[in-house]
Amino acid sequence: MNLYVCIKQVPDTETKIKVNGDASGIDTTGIKWIMSSYDEFGVEEALRLKEKNAGATVTVVSAGPDRVVETLRTALAMGADNAIHVELPETADSAMTAKALAATLKKEAKVDLVFFGKEALDDGASQVPQLVAAHMDIPAVTVVCGIEYAGTTLKCKREIEGGSFEMVEVSAPAVIAGSKGLNEPRYATLPNIMKAKKKEVKAVKLADIGVSSADQKVKMKNLQLPPPKQAGKKIDGDAAAQAHGLAVALHNEAKVI
């Protein structure tokens, strides 16, 4: 069973965003990078499957600049067997990223399942898992918070709106984009972190997989921080007066309730 997990490196959620010189993105100086938290569910799910299936291997794949190797090592320390770094420029959009990941996966001998997080914490696009699946012509199930395995068939619990769920059945090969509830991701232990430092990370160059900046479909520009808000209105008095003042403000002034 050949299991793959695509992971993305993103700024820590505590990060204060600063705009870079040409407003095409953020100033990355001094940023602490982490694995996008939903991707951890993907890594954990693959590791648990491997533990139940003798001979299974888990390969983690990340596309991005050289710094993403550090995040690949985090996944190796969690227990992944192999790592692939797809050398992708920082400016790549979802389309180019997905094309590069799909092209890399297509070169592998056999792919049974490809796990992702349901979305990345930086651009929040929720595109890449579905795009990769479409390029590989295999089904994708996203926002998956539970899976029952029966041989190569997966019964996925997909969260939709209003606390409802869709129960979706697919067979491998398939793409699964995980969400909270799927499992509890493990922490890497210190000996495993040490061991992961020595593991090989395979590098893939875009030229080798026939992907170029021509595969880019959109470009982000004029990154702006939200304009500072004007000081709001303070509503004083005792609780009853405050409640009355607020109700009047929302109903008559802002007209939102």
Partner 1 sequence: MAKVIVFIEQREGKAKKASFELVAASAAAGNETHAVIIGDSVTAIANEAAQYGANKIHLVQDAGLKLYSAESYARALTTAIKSLSPEIVLAAHTPMGKELMPTVSVQVDGALATDCTSLAFSGGKLQAKRPVYSGKAMVEVEFLGSGIQMATVRPNALGLPKPDTSKTADASNISVDLSGLKTKILEVVKGNSARPDVTEAAIVVSGGRSLKSAENFKILEDLADTVGAAVGASRAAVDAGFRPHRDQVGQTGKVVSPTCYIACGISGAIQHLAGMRTSKVIVAINSDPQAPIFQIADYGVVGDLFQVVPALTNEFKKIKE
Task: Give the whole-angstrom CA distance, residue 73 versus residue 76.
Answer: 5
Indicate the length of the chain as a whole number.
Answer: 257
For residues 45-64, which are near partner 1 according to CB under 8 A?
none
Residue nearer to partner 1 on the CB measure, 198 or 229: 229
Burial (CB count <10 Å: 0-12, 13-18, 19+), residue 142: buried
- The answer to whether 16 contacts partner 1 (rule: CB under 8 A) is yes
For residues 213-232, which are near partner 1 according to CB under 8 A?
216-226, 229, 232
User: CA-CA-CA-CA torsion for 115, 118, 121, 124, nearest 10 degrees?
Assistant: 130
- The answer to whether 168 contacts partner 1 (rule: CB under 8 A) is yes
- The answer to whether 91 contacts partner 1 (rule: CB under 8 A) is no
- The answer to whether 28 contacts partner 1 (rule: CB under 8 A) is no
For partner 1, the binding residue among 1, 11, 31, 82 (CB under 8 A) is 11
For partner 1, the binding residue among 62, 94, 97, 183 (CB under 8 A) is 94
For residues 122-151, which are near partner 1 according to CB under 8 A?
122-131, 133-135, 138-143
Do 166 and 160 contact (CB within 8 A), yes or no?
Answer: yes
Residue nearer to partner 1 on the CB measure, 28 or 192: 28
Query: Which residues lie across from 141 on neighbouring strands?
Result: 176
Stretch that binds partner 1, among 59-67, 107-115, 190-198, 248-256 (CB under 8 A): 248-256
For residues 97-126, which are near partner 1 according to CB under 8 A?
121-126
| Tokens 């802002």, residue located | 254
Interior angle at CA 181, CA 179 and CA 186, nearest 5: 90
Do 69 and 202 contact (CB within 8 A), yes or no?
Answer: no
